[in-house]
Structure formats: structure tokens, C-alpha cells
Structure 1
């Protein structure tokens, strides 16, 4: 019986005749389609990054490679576009795509190499694609594609062809819905609603001064944002991005070769693959569409000579912001980036955080600092305001529910931070959730609300939970978390992001549990989590967390309002979720002083 390699959940590439199937990973096996793949004679390749030590080692090695490639691409793109920009300029513009692309390509290549090394594979069916299909238009399109089956099938097919392995074309496939329909409908509704907002914003932008501070996507609430503008003597304007249009594909624009100068002998085959794939997969906006993007920024209503730039989230995903900012930074305009997520300062590694510190003049944290004189981190406090009401001692008795908030993640690995990656590790995460719920008595299960991850990624979250628990209330996002919290007695956080920082800052009784094998934390944070563990806020075992919930379900205050518990909670929040009342004043002084210093240098 021949052995066929299957690389994705695209069933058109699966064998129609009787064959032995090797699934490249757990991501191939969609839960809702289990009746089909369970009936196949199949094995699944072990995921190489289930070895977390290898994952971290590979991450550090790929970062070194990334720096080498970035310097080379800066030379190539400067020559191609007749510019003379610094590496920092190109880091701002293409760095997020480049870092993620190298990581993804290495992951898929290594798994395919292992498949052909360990198994006698007779055939692989791949979809027919044209060269034009490989390059996304811009970063946002790239990000939407990499979580889906079609793009990953295409990527694996191109790698297999590069390896010279036997393939069989099975024609083209339609694009698949990789986000849930509900979320897509939300985005369509937002798009329509935003047309009126865009018109109003464009009118207001025409009133701005050419030397305004540009403040955008800070995650600050409206009142604090207006206060910051006024203190900086800035008009409170919400900056609108012009629409980035599609760009025509050109083979001529991609007729260049990357020379990687650093020694990477241990990975020669991958280096050759990367050199071949970079010009083929680079988004069009950085090649064919670069001049149009530059003209778009030059002719926009954004400030021509801003005093400073301050953002929380636009620096990674927004190509218009990145192109405009890169040109301003090249002129010496200071760039400030504010923390916008809870994993910063806690996760053992976060590419987005490293990138933010490299491109900014200062990185503004929620309370923590990075040791060393060279650190750009400045503790400024949480930019987002939380409700000021403090829960009274008898409130917990009146609140009746347990809120269990879930993590969802693409079945295909792409995010470069210490978390669950890939479908298999997410399923381990889900099994820990089930262990937690199974340990609870029925009286608490009846009060449980399970809040699913916002995007489903074809994980079939709702179906999995309903197949196991018929009577538990599953919330798919139809009610906002802030509304659910109003009747929540205890909040259960199960992953390392923003949620538990906000609940702790609000002094909501909070239990945190996750598998430390998948959510590694940095050395500076280890002692902080040991303290949380001492007062039964943090657990590394779902059964222990559930037993603690059982013990204090009818007497939450005895545990939560205990003096030591409150002291450690406050200490933790002062470092990771600090609500500094003088935050706006301190932020104003930082931006204002830097801008004045910059102006004096210019004179």
C-alpha cells in the first residue's frame, strides 16, 4: 500500500483510493471532519516544537538569521527603489513580515524534512498555484492568509517542489473561511459603519497643524486621550489611514537574490530555501507597490513635520503607518510605543516586544522594566483605564457565576512568543480545561460560563465543548466580557495575556492556571508568579485550581480579602498592571521633553 503525505486540512489533496496516510501534523485533522480522517489508515508526525527547549533554541537562532537577512534586504531594497535608508527604516517597514515569514518557513520546512527522512513517502498531492498567488498584497493580507488551510497547503507544496520530491497536482481550490462567520459579519458591519467616521475624520484632519504630535491606536480611553492631547497643546484628532489598493504582480520586480553573509552552516539547506522564497513571497506593497505607498504617505493629511509619534498597536500590522513613521523616524522624529498586551514583560520570549524596543526611542510599559542601562523601557502604567469602582466585601456573595475564559490559536504555528503553538499543543490546553471542569461538583458546573476564544480557526471550540458538556453555558461572544463580569463571583484565567492583569487590577477574585511547559515566563517574572502561587491565585495544575475553587466557593472573601493575598495582588499589579493616576502627566512630560530636545538639536 502506497504512503501519501497530507500537509493540511484541504481534503481535495487527500487520497481518494485506499492508501496509508501520513498527516504532517495535528492541524490536518479538523474535529468536525473526524469521521473522515478516523476511517483512514493514518499516522501523524510528531511536532518538532513539542520539544520546547528546541523551540526556544530555534527562536534565538532564527532571530540571528533575521538580523542578517534584514541588513541584506535593506541594501537590496535601497538599490531597487533608488533610496538610501537605514536598516532601522526597513526594520520598521518590513520587519514584522520578515520575522514571521522566516519563522513560518523554517517550521514548515523542518516538518517536511522530518516526514521524508523518517517515512517512505510515495506521493504528495498538491494544489496548482501560479507565481502570483504566492505574494500577499500587504502585511494584513499576509496575516489573514497564514492561519488558513489553503495558504499552508500552498506553502508546503512549494517547499516539496523545492526539495525535488514526487508530487501530483490536483487542480485549484476555492478559498476557505478560516475565521468564523460571525467574526466576518462583524468586520463587514464595522466597515460600513466606518465610512461615515472616515468622512468626518478627513474633515477634522484638514484642520491639524503640520507639526502636530501624531497619537494613534494607543488603547487609552477617550478622556485620558483628550487630556494628553490638550496637555501637549495638540488638537484631539483621530487619524484616518488612506486605503491601500492592490498591486500588480511583476516577476521583474522579484529578480534579485539575497546573499546571507553570516555563517549558518548548520542550516545550509534552509538558507538556500529562504534565499529562493524571499523574493517570491515578499508582499507586493514592499516591491511593486512601494512607490505608490510612499506617495500615499506623502500626499496624506497626516502631519508633514510631527513633533513626535506615539502608538500602542499600529507599529506591527499597519503598513501605511509603518511607511509614514519610517520616513519620519529617518528624519529624527522620536517614536514612542506603548505596551498593549499582557504577555509583555512576562513571556520568556516575545518577538513583537523585541521589535518594538528596537524601532522605538522608548517603549512604555505597564509597570515593569528590563534590567540594564541600554534598556529603552520606561514604566508608565496601564494606558487603558479600568472601572474605578472597588468591589465591596459582600459583593462576592451576591455574584453567582464562574467565568472561564478560553484561548484560541491558529492550528498552524505563526506567533513568536512563549505560548501554545500548533493544533496539538492547543488540544493539550483544551484537555486541561476539561480536567478543570471535570473536577468541579455539579453545583459549580451549573454556574459556569465558558467564554470561547474570539476566532475559531476551524478548531470547532463550540462543538467540542457541547459534545462533552451538554448543560454548560457556552458564550461565543454574544455577550461582552465586561457584562459577564457583573455577575461573576470568580474569574478563571487560563492563558498568559491581558485578561488576568485586568481582573487582578480590578480586584476581582481571580484564579489563574496554565501549563508552564507551554507558557514559559522570563526569569524576571518567576518570583512574582511564585508569590501568586503562595496565595493560591496561580496554579500550574488544573485539578489543583479546581479544588481551590471548590474549597472557597461559598466563602470567597476569606481567601481573597486575606491580608497576604491582597498585599501580593497589589505588589504584582504595581509591576504588571499599574494604574498610575499621574500617567498622563508623566507621558506628557516624556513626549514633551523629548520633542523639545529634538527641536533644539535641529536648530
Structure 2
């Protein structure tokens, strides 16, 4: 195919009559869940696939968030005639603001890549009209979660955004074809049973709310400990101090003022309600420290309630809830939302590269409950995959956009390289469904019908399999190490991006034959050890201890007692 035959550039969803000979795509999401690459469509290179370019984009995003946070707080105070300080507004705004800025910066880099790839071609480009200046926006969002699902992961919303960004440097060789306006109403979460909602609100109002891995009794006991904590230190890092003034300007000449206008125009209904005058009450919170559930990142109503406590001076403690914290090299959300709190309790690590934070390592009950729990119950090889979202919603060290094509192909290469009898004993566990993602389990199982799909809760399968194989580093890796599950890992080192501290630990796994740089190598190792996995694991498991001590910390102590001792003085 030559570019001379291309006549149309698609920014949104690919029309049914499209053909690779005549249509080019702004990105892989245009054809989701099908593979635009397998179909042969021309697309720009993935703009932030290079780890250094991704880190530059993250620096741009962190700087923009740090600059916008105080301006947004001032804007809300002026609109609603309130006088809340940065403690309140930083807590309310951070999760949503970070998501918006990450998306905006990513799409600016994508728009720049689209212009570099197609800017000199004579193309017809269907665009969506700009938003009308009316009380009813084209795309309305109920809350942060609704914005993620109905905005960031919605090809139509991205179509409108890219239409506006490309207008800034619209090539003379392009012809804009305006499509009918698209509207999307806010979609609040489904109504909850009143009794369940009441119980949930009560549990979330505890100084130590229900956290995964902790029992109700433990939550109550730790809440009492926090009630007795009278320490007056506050190590919270304000958002305004967490930027990077050396970050380069945004692509396409996009300015901070333009970003502020854009962000105010798309704020969800929940954040409009956040500034309705509410009394912050006492100058000093009666409870000086609270643990906050990670639900606060996407549950705006809960976050606003916690922000009222924060506005009174209460110090907030967040807890690691997934495996990748601490070793992904690049992140925007982690330092700006969670690490900067008075304390961030980790699964063992104390530093995260150059990202600032108030880190406190403690053994977590979620992992302690799995300690040495593996017992083979079936001679199965369990292969676990991760998400393949084609519309990125973070600026974090993970595969992005077009990189998922090679990632998925690697999984097929692994299965194909297994001996046929072992392939028949393989279970595949796909990731949860995410909008605008590449087709997952059906794609693999059509190619290898002898492989079975793993259904139901993952944990029993993991604890009872003979061998676990992971093609990514995530929460399942931490759980497996805590449970002493025999495992193999593989990924392409050229596309993986870890902190220098993590790379040194991964080298030990590579030397032991646990981590492999290709799916074929991992498959060969699986075949080699299959008849005596316990014997092999006994010889190599020691290589996992350095990684596990940093990223899957467990010990034989009474975990609840350890937390009580620490939280009374935090």
C-alpha cells in the first residue's frame, strides 16, 4: 500500500465501509476491539512508546497539575464564594485533575504525531464540531469515574478533542468534513440498595475504613488507635510544590491558560457540587489522622467528605492496593494523588526513584493471608494477561496503544511454543473488560482451541496450579510471591520500564531462569521443568526473596499488632 492511495483520515470510529487502501487512522482505537494493524491500516507511530519520551510527557503533566491546582481552587472559591485553602482543594481536585491533564498531554502528543505522519497528504478529515457555548455541554459527566469511561475511553469524545487540537495547525492539504454533533449525557452510577449504601457510608466514615485484607474487627481496632493519635506533624506535600519547572513546553503551543479553560469546561457534576458552601466546622479536626480507601480516587462523594476533614487539618494516610507501585519508572497519578499524603503505606519499598513521597513499609494483611498458601491441586499451567486499552488513560510506565498488538502477539507466540500436551493443560486468564480495548481471550482461544479460559475468582486457580506464567509485572506477581507459587515471567525488556532499583532485583530473577526476555524462552523453560516443577522451584525460589521483600512484604508477626504500634504515632 502507498500513501498516495489514502484519501481519508479517521479520528474517531472507523466507518463500516472503510478500506485500508483509502483510509488511514489517527490511532488503533478507531477499529477497537479489532486489530487495525492486522487489517493493514496506516497509523502514526505510538508517540510515547519510548520510555524517555513518556517521562518527558509525565514531567509536562506534573508541572501542569502543580500550576493549575491553586488556580482551580481560586476559581472555585470565586464562583461559589467560599474560602477553602489548598488542603481542601488539593484533596478534592487531585485524582480528577491528574486524569484530565494526563489525557490532555497524551492527546497533544498524539495530535503532533498525526500531523507529522499525515500533514503533507491531501486528505479528507471528518471532524466533530466544537462545543456550543450553552448550559448543556456536548459531553456531560457525572463524576470522575464517568469521565474515565464516557470521556477518556470514548472514541467520540476523543474525536472531538483531536478535532480541536488539530485545528491549531491544520494543514493546507487537508479538507475538514464536519459531522453531525454528538451528545452524551452524564451517566451516574446505578442506584445502590439504601441499606447497603448506609452500611458502606458508615464503614467508610471510620478513621480506618474497610480496606481489602482487613477484617471489620481490625478496622474498628485500628480506628480506635487513630482516635488516640495526637501527633501534630503534617508531612503532606502541597500539589503546587510537586511540579517540574524544567519540563519543556506542551506540544502544539498549548498554554496553561488554555488548559485551565478546557478543564473548567469539562468538570463533572460532582466537582461542581464540591464547592457548594459547606462549613468546615472546627479549625482543627478532632481526629488528627485518617486512613483513606483508594475508592476516594474515583468516588467523588466519598473524596469530598474526606476533603472536609483534610480542610480542618486532618492528615491523610493512603495504602498501596496493587502490585506495580514502587517499581514503575514513570507515573503522574501516584506521586500527585497518593505518595504526597502524610503517609503512603507500601508493600515493602521505601523509595520510588526520584518521585517524592512519605513512604512507610508495612506487611499487608492482603498478602499475609496468602503466605505460603500454594498447594498444587491440578496439573495446570495458568497464563495471566493484563489490560490492552487502545486509548491510554495514564502517563505511566506500561504498554500503550499500538504496543498492545505486539504484546498480544507475544502471548500467542508463548502458547504456540509450548509442547502440544502442555498446551492442553493451559488455562488463560484475560483482564477485565475495558472500553476501546483490543480483543483478548476470544482472539487467543480461536487460535488455540485446546487452551481453556480461566473463569471465576483468580486466587483459587493461582493457589492450586502447578505453574503460573505472567507476561507483565502487576498485583498477581506480588500475590504469587507471597503465596510461594512457582512462576515464570516474560516480557520484552525494550518496552518495559522499571526504576533502577527494580531493574537490579529483576536481574536476579533473570539469572535464576524465572524471568525471560521472550515468550519462546519462557515456553521452553516451562516445558523443561514441567515434570518436576516443585524440584525446580526449590532450587530457584531464593532468587525471589529480594524482590518479595520490597514488593510483597510478609512476615510471621501479628500484622494487626504491627499496624497498631505504627499508627498510634503516625
Which digits, 9 at most, give the CA deviation of each residue in 1:119-144, with x for residues without a partner? 22432213457541244232111111
Output the CA distance in 1 between the equivalents of 2:355 and 2:42: 52
5 Å matches for 1:88-99?
88-99=87-98
Q: What does 1:480-559 correspond to in 2, within 5 Å? A: 480-559=457-536
Q: Contact between 1:135 and 1:280, CA under 8 Å: does it hold in 2?
A: no
Structure 1 pair 464–326 and aligned structure 2 pair: CA distance change class (3 A): same
CA distance in 1, matches of 2:66, 2:382: 43
Could you tell me which of 418, 441, 446 is aligned with 2:419?
441
1:218-251 CA-partner distances (Å, limit 9, x unpaired)? 222326634634763879xxxxxxxxxxxxxxxx
1:600 corresponding residue in structure 2: none
Query: Is 2:562 aligned against 1:583?
Result: no
Match of 1:115 in 2: 114
Greater CA drift, 316-325 or 159-168: 159-168
**CA RMSD across the alignment:** 3.6
SS of match in other structure, 1:561: helix
1:216–1:314: 8 Å Cα contact kept in structure 2? Answer: no
Q: Secondary structure at the match of 1:464?
A: helix
Aligned twin of 2:549: 574
Q: Please report how far the alpha carbon of residue 195 of structure 1 lies from its aligned counterpart in structure 2 after TM superposition.
A: 4.1
CA–CA distance in structure 1, aligned partners of residues 369 and 314 of structure 2 = 35
CA contact (8 A) 2:12 2:155 kept: yes
Deviates more, 1:568-577 or 1:116-125: 116-125
2 CA distance for matches of 1:453 and 1:225?
A: 31
Corresponding residue for 2:208? 215
Q: Deviations over 1:450-495 (max 9, x none)?
A: 11111153422133113321221123xx421123235410011121
> Could you say if the C-alpha distance between residues 10 and 122 of structure 1 is closer, same or farther in structure 2, counting changes exceeding 3 Å?
closer
Question: Which is richer in helix?
Answer: 1
Q: Deviations over 1:250-303 (max 9, x none)?
A: xxxxxxxxxx9999657562226524422222223333x2345x65x989xxx9
Counterpart residue number, 2:233: none
Question: Distance between the aligned counterparts of 1:198 and 1:381, measured in 2?
Answer: 30
For structure 1, the residue ranges without an aligned partner over 5 or more in a row are 179-186, 236-259, 595-603
**Cα 1:33–1:503, aligned 2, differ >3 Å: closer, same or farther?**
closer
Unaligned runs of 5+ in 2: 229-243
Task: Give the deviation of 1:5 after TM superposition.
Answer: 1.5
Q: Which residue of 1 aligns with 2:235?
A: none
Out of 274, 277, 290, the position equivalent to 1:309 is: 290
* Range moving further from structure 2, 436-445 or 570-579: 570-579
**Quick one: distance in 2 between partners of 1:33 and 1:536?**
33
| Aligned CA distance change for structure 1 residues 577 and 389 (closer, same or farther; 3 Å) | closer
Task: Tell me, in whole angstroms, the C-alpha distance in 1 between the residues paired with 2:36 and 2:170.
Answer: 32
| Structure 1 residues 217 and 5, CA gap change in structure 2 (3 angstroms) | farther
1:290 to 248, 271, 274: 274
Give me the whole-angstrom Cα distance separating, in 2, the residues matched to 1:436 and 1:318. 39
| Residues 99-110 of structure 1 aligned to structure 2 (within 5 Å) | 99-110=98-109
SS in 2 for 1:417: coil
CA contact (8 A) 2:380 2:425 kept: yes
Provide the rounded CA distance (Å) in 2 between the counterparts of 1:327 and 1:230: 18
What is the match of residue 237 of structure 2? none
Q: Aligned partners of 1:47, 1:129: CA distance in 2, in Å?
A: 26
SS at match of 2:428: strand
What residue is the counterpart of 1:59 in the other structure?
58
Deviation at residue 512 of structure 1 after TM alignment? 1.5
String of CA shifts for 1:323-354, please: whole Å, max 9, x gaps.
22222222221211111110111111232321
TM-score by length of 2: 0.83
Deviation at 1:402, TM superposition (A): 0.5
1:9 aligns with 2:13: yes
Q: Please name the residue that 2:442 is paired with.
A: 463
For residue 555 of structure 1, give the secondary structure of its aligned residue in structure 2.
Answer: helix
**Does residue 332 of structure 2 align to residue 351 of structure 1?**
yes
Judged with a 3 Å threshold, the aligned counterparts in structure 2 of structure 1 residues 136 and 551 are, in CA distance, closer, same or farther, namely same
Residue 170 (structure 1) aligns with? 179
In structure 2, the partner of 1:279 is: 264
Aligned length: 534
User: 1-side partners of 2:245 and 2:123: how far apart?
Assistant: 37
Give the match's secondary structure for 1:545: helix
Matched, 1:159 2:140: no
1:2–1:415 distance in 2 versus 1, CA, 3 Å? closer
- Identify the residue that residue 231 of structure 2 maps to in structure 1: none
Matched residue, 1:184? none
Q: 1 CA distance for matches of 2:71 and 2:535?
A: 60
Check 1:275–1:482 CA distance in 2 against 1; reply closer, same or farther (3 A cut). closer
Check the 8 A contact 1:356/1:363 in 2, yes or no.
no
Counterparts of 2:544 and 2:414 in 1: how far apart (Å)?
23
Number of the residue aligned with 1:136? 141
Determine which structure has greater relative contact order: mean sequence separation of CA pairs < 8 Å that are 6+ residues apart, divided by chain length: 2
